[in-house]
Amino acid sequence: MARLPRLTVPGYPHHVIQRGNNRQAIFSKPDDYDMLLSLLHENAQKFGVAIHAYVLMTNHFHLLATPETDDGLPLMMQAVGRRYVRYFNDMQGRSGTLWEGRYRSTLIQTDRYLLACMAYIDLNPVRAGMVREAKDYAWSSHGHYIGQHDDKIVSPHSFFWALGNTPFAREAAYADLVRAGVTPAQQADLTRSALNGWALGEGSFVTDLQKRTARRVAKGQAGRPALPALKS
C-alpha cells in the first residue's frame, strides 16, 4: 500500500518527531546541539514556520510548530535534515544516512492539546531519566518559558500568552503546568498520533479539518471521530 503523504495544513500546530537511524545518537558534543538549533532557527524564518517548543534528545528530537504555508514545514525539515547530516558526517568522519527515514508528524487541536504537547515535549528528558526536572535540561525550550533565558528560536503561541497578564505570571503558570505533568494516556496519544500521522482532536475538529485538505486526516473514513479528548 502506498504511503500517505504527511498531514500538513497551514495555521495549525504540528507535533514533529525526527529519529536517528536505528536509534543511533545524532549528537556527540554540545556544538552539535547548537548547530541543529541554529539550522532550525535559520530555516524556520526562511520558510515561515513558528517553533513553539522543542527538545533535542540524544537520538531524536521533537518540535511543536505552526507553518504559514502548505510546504513551509516540509521544506524547513528537508533543509535542516540535509545540512545537519553533512555537518555531522564531516565532524565524525562518517558517511551515509543519519535519520530513520522521513520525519513523523501530525497536527493537533490547539485548544485541547497545545499546552499538553508542550509539557510532553519538555518532560522527555525527565521520562528518560536524564534529569530530575525539566528545568535542569539544557536542550529544550522549557528554560525560555520559565524565564531562565531568552531563546531566539522560540515563538510563543497565543495560548501561552493567555496563561497570565505578566511575564512572571505566565512563567509561574507554565512551570506549574509542566510540574503537574501529563497522564500516561496523554503521553500515548501524543506519541501515537505523531508516529501514525493521524490528526489529534475531537470529532468536530477532525471533520472540519478534513474539509481543508484532500489528505485523509483520521484512520478510517473521513470525518470519523478522532481520539478522545485529553483531560486537563
Express each pLDDT in 4-52 by its tens digit. 788 899 999 999 999 999 999 999 999 999 999 999 999 999 999 999 9
Q: What is the CA radius of gyration of the chain?
A: 17
DSSP percent split of the chain into helix, strand, coil, nearest 5:
45, 15, 40
pLDDT of 137 strictly over 60: yes
CA nearest to 200, candidates 6, 62, 15: 15
C-alpha cell at 157: 503561541
Average pLDDT over residues 55-72: 97
pLDDT at residue number 219? 84
Within 10 angstroms of residue 222's Cβ, the number of other Cβ atoms is: 15
User: What's the pLDDT at 228?
Assistant: 44
Q: Which three cell numbers stand for residue 40?
A: 532550525
Q: With bands split at pLDDT 50, 70 and 90, how would you rate the model's confidence at 168?
A: very high
* CA dist., res. 229 & res. 113, Å (int): 8
- Total-model pTM: 0.91
Instruction: Give the pLDDT confidence score for residue 223 in this predicted structure.
Output: 41
Q: What domains, with CATH codes, occur in the chain?
A: 14-203 (3.30.70.1290)
Q: How confident is the model at residue 1 (pLDDT cuts 50, 70, 90)?
A: very low
Region of poorest pLDDT, from 53-62, 159-168, 205-214: 205-214
**Residues of the chain above pLDDT 90, percent:** 86
Q: Among the listed ranges 49-53, 59-63, 196-200, 219-223, which one has the minimum average pLDDT value?
A: 219-223
Q: Residue 90 — very low, low, confident or very high, per pLDDT cuts 50/70/90? A: very high
What is the average pLDDT score of the chain? 92
Please, is 59 exposed, middle or buried when counting C-beta atoms within 10 Å of its C-beta (0-12, 13-18, 19+)? middle
